[in-house]
Amino acid sequence: MITYHPVGETTLLRFLLIGTNGLGNPGQTPVVAIKRRSDSKYWTGVSWQVGYTTIGMTEEDPTNLPGSYFYSFNQASAGGSNEEYLVRYMNIVAMPNTALDEEQHSYVNFATSLTPPVTIGHALSDDGTNFYLALWVEVGGQRVTNYTSLTVQLQDDSGDLVANLGSTSAQTAAGVFAFQTPIVVLQRNTPYILIVQATQGIVTSTYNLGVVRV
């Protein structure tokens, strides 16, 4: 399993040691090895080096949280770039206290905007005479009804106009806009592009949809 983090985050790498009694095992001396995937170097706690090394872990609270150990990995200090690490935890002592575990941690740039995506949904049909088109606007995957109008053109793959389906402000209660044009303008098994301009108040956005008559 890979755990993802924002680039530059400080991550508490945790290792839980459990004794033969099923309870947390205090007073141990576990270590962690952190290997950078891009060049196979190891983190010393200060810098990256070619040779293998481990870092001691800290016990969280031996009285109230026995067996819980951590290492605070500051990814910003460790380079702060898009990177993946193999993390191995070890308690290298005699049985029954020997313990071993591994994780993978990936640091990536997450989107900083919480604005939901806006897309155009569509359904197509023809009856041999007319080509029918139903369009709607989705915000964050939800169909909405607060758009003023839609304007549609049909172009071929060279960008030439095939049909102007016009503009309409009429929509159903579910937010669907309907268009139609004679079917003779569309050849079978030929790719076309619908150019959709969606107007909301004074703002107009343009979307491109691929269609094929089969």
Give the other-Cβ count within 10 Å of 210's Cβ: 10
pLDDT on residue 40:
96
Indicate whether 102 and 129 sit together in one domain. no
Q: Are 24 and 16 in contact (CB under 8 A)?
A: yes
Q: Are 211 and 193 in contact (CB under 8 A)?
A: yes
Q: Of 40, 75, 108, which marks where a domain is finished?
A: 108
- Residue-range definition of the domain harbouring residue 152: 118-212
Residue 113 inside a domain? The answer is no
Indicate whether 62 and 141 sit together in one domain. no
pLDDT on residue 203:
84
Q: Could you report the per-residue pLDDT of 33-83, keeping only the tens digit for each?
A: 999 999 999 999 999 999 999 999 999 999 999 999 999 999 999 999 889
Q: Tokens standing for 39?
A: 């060049």
Indicate whether 136 and 93 sit together in one domain. no
pLDDT in tens, the chain (214 residues): 689 999 999 999 999 999 999 999 999 999 999 999 999 999 999 999 999 999 999 999 999 999 999 999 999 999 998 899 999 999 999 999 999 999 999 998 876 666 788 899 999 999 999 999 999 999 888 888 888 999 999 999 999 999 999 999 999 988 999 999 999 999 999 999 999 999 988 888 999 999 988 8
Indicate whether 151 and 201 sit together in one domain. yes
Count of the separate structural domains present in the chain: 2
Sign of the Cα pseudo-torsion (155, 159, 160, 164, in order):
positive
pLDDT on residue 76:
95
Q: Of 73, 108, 143, which marks where a domain is finished?
A: 108
Residue 136 inside a domain? The answer is yes
